Amino acid sequence: MNIFTRISLTVLLMLWAFLPYNDKEAVNPQAELLRSIGKVNLGLICSAFLGMVALYCRDIQICLELISPENRKMSPKAAWRMFLLPFNFIEDFFIVINLSNSIEAEARVNPKLAALKDFGMVSGIGWSIAQVLSFIPNDIGQVAGLLGFVLVLVHWIFIRKINTLLA
């Protein structure tokens, strides 16, 4: 998918995500939760989250570096696109798809991965979808955010397993 399409999808997603926040009279549980946490605690939570994302990106990069170049569907450095806000909300889907396809291609020729039946697509796409749905400003958004967090951990554990097998 070309860059224009990805940017267009990002703009549409941001419009959809922030539309509910324009209604000043609407009750917004996420906004209330953020206010109740406080600025300092919110800063600490965001820092911890960004640190976690950095470690996750590093493991994805390592995974792609361990995969033979002919089986890679993206550059190992492309994992760091997860930090390109708000572009990442769409780009994350492509990172997960290309990573899973790279693992699958490597598994066809590398006996270390011969026993794999799953290549991380379900948990990866799952957390990407949940991340987008977490923008919904109600209980559905909060549940999606929690589910996305669990699924990204499942995916991360899977990537670390792949790294161990390939190292």
- Quick: pLDDT tens for 103-145: 999 999 999 998 888 899 999 999 999 998 988 877 888 899 9
How far from the centroid of its chain's Cα atoms is residue 77's Cα? 15
pLDDT of 135: 81
Q: Nearest CA to 60 among 97, 108, 13?
A: 97
**What does the alpha-carbon distance between residue 101 and residue 34 come to, in Å, rounded to a whole number?**
37
pLDDT of 37: 79
Residue type, 127: W
pLDDT of 25: 63
Q: What percent of the chain has pLDDT over 90?
A: 54
First to last CA, the chain: 32
Instruction: Express each pLDDT in 74-114 by its tens digit.
Output: 999 999 999 888 888 889 999 999 999 999 999 999 999 98
> Do the beta carbons of residue 102 and residue 74 sit within 8 Å?
yes
- pTM value is 0.83
Domain ranges in the chain?
Answer: 30-166
Residue type, 53: V
- Residue 14, token pair as written in the block: 């941001």
> Do the beta carbons of residue 102 and residue 71 sit within 8 Å?
yes
